[in-house]
Chain A
Amino acid sequence: MNEMTRPMLHLMKKIEVVVQAADIKLVETVLRDAGIAGWTMIRDVAGMGHHGFHQGRTIFSDESGLVMFVGVAPADHIRNAADNLRDLFHTRAGVLFMSDVEVIRSDYFVAA
């Protein structure tokens, strides 16, 4: 594949957020409000944290356990989301990561 036919790549930012399942709605509000068009949500994630190992959800409670959001959008939208999540983390437990990514269809990641 030469340079002419290689698909054009666009620089975007990715945000990954791990929060308690009880706070799903709060994170969705932040992402939507920051203009992020869509995201992936992975339920029942587990892992090591400040409080030791966090288990996945228990069978009779959707609110136990952790979830992970993955969103991709233009850098300013992701920064807005991160700023607001920082406010959220004053009172709620969670972590967030941001990183640079490249995508093929840039229009796909911009809110209509």
Chain B
Amino acid sequence: MTQVSKIVAADNGTAHASPSSLALKVELAARTVAPLWPLESAIAVNPLSGFEDMPFEQALGDAARLFGTRAGLDLRLWRRLSAMGRPTREAVRQESIRDLGGLERAFEMVGPDITLVDCLMARLYDLPIADALAHDGDPSAERVAEWCAAYFAKGVAAIPLGAQAPGLFAAALPLLKASFSNPLVKSVPETPMAAVRWALYRLAIEPADQQRFLRSTVARMPGWAGHIRWRDEQADDDRRQERPSGMADLIALILISDLAVGARPVEAIDKRVDVRRQLAAHFQIAADRFSPAVRDLCERDDAGLALIFQQAAEREFATPLAKSIAAKAKTAIADEASPDAQLLFCIDVRSEPMRRALEAQGAYQTVGYAGFFGLPIAVREPGSPRTRRLPVLVGPQHELALAPVRGAEEDARDYLAARDRDRSLRALFNRLKSGLATGFSTAETVGGGAGLWMALQTFAPGLSARLRRGMGGDPQALAPAIDRHAGGSGLTAGERLSYARAMFALTGMKATARLVVLLGHAGETVNNPYASALDCGACAGHGGAANARAMAAILNDRDTRAALGIAADTHFVAGEHNTTTDDVRLFDLQFLPETHSGDLERLQQSLAAAGEAVRTERARKLGRTEQDLRRGAAHWGEVRPEWGLTGNAAFIVGPRRLTRSIDLDGRAFLHDYDWRIDGQGEALATILTAPMVVAQWINCQYLFSTIDNDRYGAGDKTVHNPVAGIGVVRGNGGDLAVGLPRQTLFHDDGTPAHVPQRLTTIVYAPIKRVETLVEQQAVLRRLFGNGWVRLIVIDPQTGQVRRWADDRELNEDAA
């Protein structure tokens, strides 16, 4: 470099002393994809979590380009939904006027008797829609996906990869070298980061372009990249060390495969149609009779149009809801009277219909709280690895042993024996199945039995479920021990008290009834890789029974009760709401005093009646009979045992009295909150930075899985093949599927059951307090400021309703 060019370079700021860190670039590129949890603990994540630092609308477009996805729901589907009034045509028209900048612009004449809004409505509802581009195959990604499956699916892959090798890249390198005759691959460096650097050099990617390029490389395999992120950032150490891997491993393999076959062609086919001509045909005029004012509208893409439908749906849902809650705030009286029983439910949207139905049965007070009951725990069954039972935003602080419940010791023994028997049979079967000499004879030996079992699950699913339960024992004979037990840490008196206090402080609830029930929830389904997606998200994709039982044990603990001043006749009971059948099972009733048996009996009758009412409501939505719901829970061919969290649209923070008389149609997460006892706003900060964030992940997963089910979702369930409990692939290979399967979100005729819309959070608290909180918490500034969540605040003191507007201030206009 000459002296002159050095100076120029310095002026341009390019004479940087140190080369920018490739490790940092790889780490930032990893954040293009969301972590993907394994099937046993599948939890919802926003597939666009790496884009939350930009406005929602921009993120849709950027992510669509990067991942090769749709940026909005197919307009044909929006038209179908709108024909059903979701959103209504009138709401879309209002949104169009707003979108065009107001009445004056919208009603500008752009042709004979034709206004601008007429043209926009024609584009939204009437003009032909071009087909989306078909996805091109990605041979490099497909090849690398095979190596990933062989490497990570330890103990299941027929040809396991890298038994001794120290990482994914090292394990796949010999295969990579053997797969290509290209002499280039012989000189690939041995370590992943060096290999990435080498490949970037060979591909002639300039330093300034490297970050973007690495992001687009990771985006080619969101499934396996997401799995690697999960391992790297979320998995327990033993799991991580078992199969070490990093994002550099994956990137190196993809890029070297590209190099070996010649660089991947990037093509963009411009299929732009002549919208002006289409509009002219629609209005039956000559194309040249439109004024130039129509040009902007003609240039809009389908994604921009889809967003108008989405915003109309959001507004049509949220505005009347906020108004009716605000009206209730003025009239509803506080429920101070002593209720027959109090029940704490998870905030999950499926709790809402159950709460409504139960409240109709008697003087029951229901309360919404995160379903892990604020307990940051992992639990360990004897002879099994621990499982986390808390939201993934927080790490476990305690490990509780699952121990036999007093009075159910025999059941616990039976369950553990059955579990061990089942494990060794499975291990034997897998060995025999894959053995060269035993493969055929195994099929012949077990084939008859397996066939019978299949027939039973098909024609008598109820009987097969009873048999399975009979043979498998009852896992609920084990419960988490809050005392130190068999390797479990237990909880100290101080810890018990602080978790109990947190529950009352966050919900504003006071334990006044003779029975207080803590209800977790779980789905029930067989032969379903996505079973844990129906379980409790707050419990890391598991049923909520363990947390409910631990919390009930804490609240029944003598010292804790004394410290909290809980009345002697108040007893806490744990239970689990089965969201597939709407049965509620209560646990450990042997510890309930005789004096409360009457209360319990009445409650159980009410729960049964409420369950029946909810089942009827849900059966209608699924287009089936009630009996068929029970059957579906046990049928091995059932692709839609329940709708899960389909329809989720709101997160409401406030006392139940504000929503009690509103039918929220199973679409709202409900978190109780009392602003009067939260002077510093700490409880509200916790609710908005944790449960609401989890709700937002769920909302975004449902939203994007609906918008592009093939790419952001998992596609059709019937072609899913699980890969060693890690995830599913479609057919016999390719990337791991992310997101939710088609059957969770769409009716059989292809109409979305889930209307893609963003979460609306409604908070009943002083506006000033909410404003301060949003300023103090980066995550809230990001989510509300960038429009990932719509925020509406109802001020209890002034009655004002305000919407968080894009200018990051609470706008007076609630509509």
Contacts and interface: CB of A to CB of B under 8 A. Distances in A.
A59 interface: yes
A22 B693 CA distance: 13
A80 B16 CA distance: 10
Contact of A61 (B20, B28, B690, B772): B690
A59 B502 contact: yes
Interface stretch (A2-10, A83-91, A100-108): A83-91
Given A52-B776, A83-B16, A83-B17, A60 B23 contact: no
Given A25-B233, A60-B374, A61-B690, A33 B777 contact: no
Contacts of A62: 393-395
B541 interface: no
A61 B18 contact: no
Interface in B19-68: 20-24, 27-28, 53
Given A60-B686, A60-B689, A61-B690, A83 B18 contact: yes
Interface string B222-235: 00000000000100
Contacts of B619: none
A61 B393 contact: yes
B774 to A, nearest CB: 9
A38 B502 CA distance: 36
B391 interface: yes
A84 B21 contact: yes
A93 B778 contact: yes
A25 B27 CA distance: 8
B305 interface: no
Contacts of A96: none
A34 B689 CA distance: 33
A25 B234 CA distance: 12
Contact of A63 (B374, B502, B779, B781): B779
Given A60-B690, A61-B393, A26 B27 contact: yes
A43 B18 CA distance: 29
B713 interface: no
B400 interface: no
Interface residues of B, number: 34
A29 B393 contact: no
Contact of B28 (A26, A32, A53): A26
Contacts of A80: 17-18, 21
Interface residues of A, number: 29
Contact of B24 (A20, A29, A51, A60): A29
Contacts of B370: 60
Given A26-B28, A58-B689, A64 B777 contact: yes
A30 interface: yes
Nearest to A34: B21
A79 interface: yes
A87 B395 contact: no
Contact of A51 (B376, B395, B690, B781): B781
Interface in A3-53: 20, 22, 25-26, 29-30, 32-34, 51-53
A52 to B, nearest CB: 5
A20 B20 contact: no
A83 B20 CA distance: 7
A83 B775 CA distance: 29
A45 B460 CA distance: 60
A46 B648 CA distance: 35
A70 B691 CA distance: 32
B15 to A, nearest CB: 12
Contacts of B664: none
B549 to A, nearest CB: 20
Given A62-B393, A63-B393, A30 B24 contact: yes
Interface in B367-426: 370, 374, 376, 391, 393-395
Given A33-B23, A84-B24, A87-B21, 14 more contacts: A33-B21, A33-B22, A55-B777, A58-B690, A59-B374, A59-B686, A60-B376, A61-B391, A64-B690, A83-B16, A84-B20, A87-B20, A91-B53, A93-B778
Interface of B: 16-18, 20-24, 27-28, 53, 233, 370, 374, 376, 391, 393-395, 502, 682, 685-686, 689-691, 693, 772, 775-779, 781
